[in-house]
Structure 1
Amino acid sequence: MLAKLLPVVMLLVGVGGGVGSGLLLAPKEPPEEAGSHEEKPDDDHAAVDEGADGEKSVTEFVKLNNQFVIPIIRDERVASLVVLSLSLETRVPMNDAVFNREPKLRDSFLQVLFDHANMGGFNGSFTDAEMLDVLRRSLRDVARRELGSEVENVLITDISRQDT
């Protein structure tokens, strides 16, 4: 009987200890100030940075919905597939603008990605910092052309190559 009861007791002690630790170590949220009208980011994809002049600016990250799949062609056949996920870093909240223009933005991004692939950018050590910097700059230029200068950067949040 004791042999069957001991695992249950140990489980309860472990769960209780975990819950207690979680409550004890949970971050304390500061109380909201009454009458505060300071603009705050409305989701987990924004950060507030304080510039050198003490002025606060909101940086927002907008993740594009779907991955980009780029075929790598060798000898007139698909030799590899590169799969990327991209996000935009913007200086102002631009979720609506990005998603309203997403089809056009995706088309422009795909053209840049196909050009990069055709120039051999995804061959060999395709994750080399210099190669990715060239790609990021090209994507950023396209994003600024489509959405405006509020686009700070294009982030490559995931990249992989699958050889066939």
Structure 2
Amino acid sequence: MKKFLPIILIVLGLAAGAGAGIYLQPKKSDPEASTEDCQPSATEAERAKDNARPLAPQDVEYAKLNNQFVIPIVQDDSVTSLVVISLTLEVTPGTREGVFAREPKLRDTFLQVMFDHANMGGFEGKFTNSSNLEVLRNALFETARNILGSNIKDVLIMDIVRQEI
């Protein structure tokens, strides 16, 4: 009996896991049920309107901003960590050079947006959570839209890391 007990426990564990997986499986019959609570923000609505059709590779260009952004995280009047972010802008064809010409202004306003995000606690805890990043991405998009106009299609967060000090 002592030899069969581990085997019986493994089989029971597998059966319980499979049963829980089947029971907790999301329903596939009602695709609108999972999205009815999600209301798009104004920025998401603008992006949807601007990007009503899927963009082909020739419909956009990418402007990778030259340097990373370094954002200090301050708690109790001292820097506790640093967040480093790399950004790329998705723009209409032929406007990349205009992005690089306006890069100093973009960097300044992007840094201010990121500092505000940090001061609101956006880089604390699970800062890579999609809802946290979407708030940051929308704020960066709005800032870029104010500077570049309708030439901006999206702001892509290419790299993000937080280093504790």
Q: Of the two structures, which has the highest relative contact order with CA contacts closer than 8 Å and spacing of 6 or more?
A: 2
Alignment of 1:96-111 (within 5 A): 96-111=97-112
- The Cα offsets for residues 92-124 of structure 1, whole Å up to 9 and x where unpaired, read as 222210111110110000000000000000000
d(CA) in 2 for partners of 1:52 and 1:118? 36
Could you tell me whether the CA contact under 8 Å between 1:57 and 1:91 is conserved in 2?
no
Residue-pair matches, total: 113
**Structure 2: runs of 5 or more not aligned:** 1-51
Cα 1:77–1:96 change in 2 (3 A) is same
RMSD in angstroms over aligned alpha carbons? 1.9
Could you tell me whether the CA contact under 8 Å between 1:89 and 1:154 is conserved in 2?
yes
Alignment of 1:1-150 (within 5 A): 58-150=59-151
**Structure 1: runs of 5 or more not aligned:** 1-50
Q: What is the TM-score of this pair, normalised by structure 2?
A: 0.65
Q: What is the TM-score of this pair, normalised by structure 1?
A: 0.65
- Identify, as 1 or 2, the structure richer in helix: 2
d(CA) in 2 for partners of 1:116 and 1:69? 13
Percent of residue pairs bearing the same amino acid type? 56
CA shift for structure 1 position 58:
1.5
d(CA) in 2 for partners of 1:88 and 1:115? 20
Structure 1: 4+ residue segments shifted above 2 A: none
d(CA) in 1 for partners of 2:160 and 2:126? 12
d(CA) in 2 for partners of 1:144 and 1:52? 19
CA shift for structure 1 position 52:
5.5
Q: Which amino acid aligns with 1:113?
A: M
Residue 35 of structure 1 corresponds to: none
- Identify, as 1 or 2, the structure richer in strand: 1
